[in-house]
Structure formats: C-alpha cells, structure tokens
Amino acid sequence: MAQVVPAQAHGGSSYRWELTPTGTTAQFRGLAAVSKDVAWVAGTEGTVLRTVDGGKRWQNVSPKGAEKLQFRDVEAFDARSAVALTIGPGEESRVYRTADGGNTWTETFRNTDPNAFYDCFAFNGSKHGLALSDPVDGKFRIAASTDGGKSWKVQPNDGMPAALPGEFAFAASGTCLVAGAGRTAWFATGGGDRPRVFRTFDGGRHWKVSDSPMASGEAAGIFSLAFRNSLFGVAVGGDFLKPNEAVKAASVTYDGGRTWKLVPADKAPKGYRSGAHFVPGSPSTVVAVGPSGSDVSYDGGRSWKQFYDGSFDSVECAGHGANAGCWASGAKGAVARLVR
C-alpha cells in the first residue's frame, strides 16, 4: 500500500489514498462503491474487477466475449448485483448485468443506432436507471430501465431541449449523469460554446437545461457532477488537454442546478478534474480526482486543497457510519481507498 501527503481536515483529521493491488494494467474509469469493503471497477479490454474485503483481493469477473470493448461505467447495488456500460459508436455501446457476483453476465442492451454513443448511466435505488447518449438528430438521447437494468427502452426526445452545435458529454468517470432522490437526475456537457447542466424530475421523460460559467470547448466542459441532496451540488471539469491548469474547473449550485456559481481559480482544484463525490458522514466534504491530482473541499466545493499529486479518473463514496467508504480508480490498474 502507498501512503501519500495528507490534507489537514477540520478537527485535525486528514485524508490520504491507500493503493490496493489489482494485478492488472487496465484503465478503470468505471467505479462503483458499495461500502468500505465492497467495490467494483470496470475499464479497458473488457475488464471488470470486484472486491469484498476492502481491496485486499480483487477478483476478475470480466464478462466473457467483451475483451475488445471499453467499460466506462459500472453501477453496483450490492456485492452480487451490478450493471456495467461499454462505450463507443453503434453496437459498441452495451449494458451487461450480473446477479451472482460476476460469475455470469447477461447483455441487456445493445445500441443499434450508428449515430448514438452512450457515455454514462446512473441508478436511483435498485430499479430505476437512466443511460445517456450524445446527441442524435440534434438532441441528447436517454435510455431508461425500470427493472434494475434487466431491460432498457429509448425514451422519446420531445421532452429534451435541443443540443448546442458541438455539444456532447464526457465518458470520463461514469459521473456525467447522476441520479437523485425520487425520479430526479442531472447530466452535464461540454464541447459547445458553453457547458450546460440538464435536469429531470420525472425519470428522464422531460428535461430543463441551465448554462454553466465553467470552461467549454473541444476538450473542455463539465466532466462530473455530485449532489448532496436535491439542491446542493458540485460540478468539476476544466480542459483535459491542460491537466495541470485550473481552467474554470469547478462550480457549485444551491438550487438544484438551475444556477451555478464559478469557483475562483485561486480556490478551485489545482487542475482539470474528471470525478467528484461527497464524502459520507459530512454535509459538505467533497473529494475530486483527475490525472494531475486529488483535492478535498470542506465547504461544499467553494474552496479546494490538493492532497495527492498522482493520477485517478474516478471517485465514488457509499455506505453509512462505520461501513462508509470512498474509492478512486484510474490508469495502470490503480484503485485506492480513501483513509482518514
């Protein structure tokens, strides 16, 4: 295990990452935290791993026949049940589901539209899920599941606002789309002349959209969303071609994504960040990760402090009380637990 320079938290505590040996060199942008002991990661070359002992051992539970596909998102309901998303144009975008800890997988969705490209998905509970595709015929596309990922249905697009020229979502960490309470969900974009955040309150049937003050462009925008509740949220991103620069890299909302306030560069994460998540047990602690480091905010994203200068792509936290845990994943098989 590897210790890193800690960040000092309120009350004298600190954070650091402890790397766990995965035995692979795959890049894991898909990450699902269940607790401090249980987590799933999914990545390149069709690789899916699972741990049930806090990362001491990782089990290779990769779906057979998926070796040429890239997993970019995985959502886990417990130690045995999970769904995983592969990305790419046309039929490369697929969803796989397991109910036996990864011993067997069933392909439950295969995109047949050559113009669609699914980036990420999210579940609210164990039943309702939404998957996001880049625009098709001028609008972002949503596929929905009401049975825990066993089946999917592409939604009508009449309730989706038109996309901007060049606008798309980033398949960087599995958090370009996140789910909230009830039938609430949000997704974030970049690529256009301004990044935007879309929000739904009816399970993906109708959406409203708001502009963001963060960076946008061919390689810039919002890469990750994190919400503590229906009103309080954080967005992180920047320009992935400038990983060491805080190019309008973070913003916060207090009204459910209707309006966003930019975090000044001197208080923002120290570079482009691809993932963020609220830490359990604290109302306002957030961790963000990216290729040039990890940062922590103790005030709900209004200011950040870097505590690690290594690379991760994704971060996710889950669980309650003593069972809560945060995980990060990235390139060259890197997976770590957050230790306080």
**What DSSP assignment string belongs to 184-206?**
-EEEE-BSSSS-EEEEESSTTSS
Q: Indicate the average pLDDT of the chain.
A: 95
Give whole-number Cα distances, 260 to 37, 270, 301, in Å: 35, 20, 12
Over residues 8-36, mean pLDDT:
84
- What one-letter code names the amino acid at 235? A
Q: How far apart are CA 316 and CA 307, in angstroms?
A: 17
Give the single-character DSSP code of 107.
E
Q: Is the pLDDT of residue 1 over 90?
A: no
Of the pLDDT bands very low, low, confident and very high (cuts 50, 70, 90), residue 129 is very high
Q: Is the pLDDT of residue 4 over 90?
A: no
3-state secondary structure of 322: helix
Q: Can you say whether residue 164 is alpha, beta or left, with left for phi > 0 and alpha for psi between -120 and 50 degrees?
A: beta
Q: How far apart are CA 181 and CA 26, in angstroms?
A: 33
Q: How many CB atoms lie within 10 A of CB 107?
A: 13
Give the single-character DSSP code of 62.
P
Phi, psi of 91 (to 5 degrees): -75, -5
Of the pLDDT bands very low, low, confident and very high (cuts 50, 70, 90), residue 14 is confident
Over residues 117-128, mean pLDDT:
96
Give whole-number Cα distances, 313 to 107, 126, 264, in Å: 26, 25, 23
* Residues 263, 264, 266: CA angle, nearest 5 degrees: 125
Q: Is the pLDDT of residue 7 over 60?
A: no
Q: pTM here?
A: 0.95
Q: Is the pLDDT of residue 172 over 60?
A: yes
Burial 289-312 (b: 16+ CB within 10 A, else e): bbbbbbbbbbebbbbbebbbebbb
Radius of gyration in angstroms for the set of CA atoms belonging to the chain, rounded to a whole number: 18
Count helices and strands in the chain by DSSP H and E runs = 0, 29
Q: How far apart are CA 308 and CA 296, in angstroms?
A: 10
Residues 337 and 329 sit within 8 Å (Cβ to Cβ): no
pLDDT in tens, 131-147: 999 999 999 999 999 99
Q: How far apart are CA 91 and CA 84, in angstroms?
A: 15
Of the pLDDT bands very low, low, confident and very high (cuts 50, 70, 90), residue 20 is very high
